[in-house]
Structure 1
């Protein structure tokens, strides 16, 4: 376990790391949804800190502040990047090592907060997102979006079932990350099928906009073409076909999604 003094020293170390990496990240990611860096950039900050920590921990002489962390890792624990929910208020990217939650992007929602925070995981309010209802609840308030079911590309919907639209009318598909795709797969698409009836179909003009975007894709996947089944029926069809156990098909779906614009 880390002592309070060790936690404070590590938080200070992480804050200094941020001072080194922030100028580079701010130049690369100056804004997010119209908000200045670091707002909304928790993933990018977490990834940069993770990379910097691994490099620092691999040095022959490890900084004094890092020695307690290295001691934990020397017991066989790992420094794992994680994504999930923070108190069901925010999506959060953090690092976990054993019982410890390390947030080196603590200021990416409120810039007045300290850059780094370390807490026991059990006291942090961080946890996995285990349903699409939970994801939607967070996304609606955190991203300030309307959310529709993915009737635009039904063949993608069992894996990526949601369409988000922000106040500016910009839309994108969700939840297009490994964690939420795994929620879909582990439930054999039942959790997707469960949430779809609670959502409205997207407006016709939005569907048409995405279909036009798909027409501009070089060698578009058949998964982006018109389907005879709707999103709910696709969940049942894929389950009957065992697609939740087919990693190759999962990759095909992801590649089809990645061929589309990030947003329209």
Structure 2
């Protein structure tokens, strides 16, 4: 796409974002006390992805540069999540070698809603390990990160516990990309980060145990006790890194937990 086509596409997508905002702003008025659109890059990206597809399906002239590029390059829109310059977690759209950020104003609301760049110039990259995730989380989310000793049987998949400045805590990193990081390494990367993080405060572990004690039928993966590093080794030796059924069981156990403690 030429610069003129990129500028036109960015303008049209910014107009489409206004439609997305009309849908999303009433649903998500705030995120951690910050007003919409701050912190809502996932929701905005997903809504824009739907709207763009709908426009393309109707052969909208406004998105003609994008449609022509997709046809000539034989490329489809892809949702992506990862690191933006190792400063932020970002949800965006990639098509071929173009990076389309339809939620460019979710960290700084004064920025343009939409940014389109060549992928290699965007600063966007996949997150390769948990150390990189922790580095971004600590600065971007303003959290302290601990070993997941609260639920050691889940630690191979979710090795981290994040705690924010208000004392709320949650397991991380809870998305498909980071699950793949854990499983593709046969849990070696989970084991490595666990070995280099401190355990959470006892008060935090007590809170999580109290939550489990009040659940009517907690999953057995939530009640196991032990060393999270030992679970990593055991899962690796049992070839659970390629067992999608067991992965789904771990995810269901995670999903049964409250959002935070």
Structure-1-length-normalised TM-score: 0.96
1:49-198 paired onto structure 2 within 5 Å: 49-59=48-58, 61-63=59-61, 65-75=62-72, 76-198=74-196
In 2, Cα distance between the equivalents of 1:203 and 1:100?
A: 44
Three-state SS of the structure 1 residue aligned to 2:121 is: helix
In 1, Cα distance between the equivalents of 2:128 and 2:214?
A: 35
Q: Considering only aligned residues, what root-mean-square deviation do their CA atoms show, in Å?
A: 0.9
Q: Which residue of 1 aligns with 2:234?
A: 237
In 2, Cα distance between the equivalents of 1:174 and 1:22?
A: 28
Q: Is the 8 A contact 1:160 1:173 kept in 2?
A: yes
Q: Is the 8 A contact 1:217 1:260 kept in 2?
A: no
In 1, Cα distance between the equivalents of 2:145 and 2:239?
A: 28
Structure 2 residue ranges without an equivalent (≥5): none
1:199-218 paired onto structure 2 within 5 Å: 199-218=197-216
Residue 67 of structure 1, CA deviation: 1.0
In 1, Cα distance between the equivalents of 2:246 and 2:34?
A: 37
Three-state SS of the structure 1 residue aligned to 2:207 is: helix
In 1, Cα distance between the equivalents of 2:17 and 2:64?
A: 19
Three-state SS of the structure 2 residue aligned to 1:93 is: strand
Q: Which moved more, 1:213-222 or 1:90-99?
A: 213-222
Q: Is the 8 A contact 1:147 1:199 kept in 2?
A: yes
In 2, Cα distance between the equivalents of 1:99 and 1:144?
A: 32
Three-state SS of the structure 1 residue aligned to 2:141 is: helix
Q: Which residue of 2 aligns with 1:24?
A: 23
Three-state SS of the structure 2 residue aligned to 1:159 is: coil
Say how many residue pairs are matched.
Answer: 260
In 1, Cα distance between the equivalents of 2:219 and 2:36?
A: 35
In 2, Cα distance between the equivalents of 1:101 and 1:160?
A: 29
Structure-2-length-normalised TM-score: 0.98
In 2, Cα distance between the equivalents of 1:35 and 1:170?
A: 17
Residue 23 of structure 1, CA deviation: 2.5
Structure 1 residue ranges without an equivalent (≥5): none
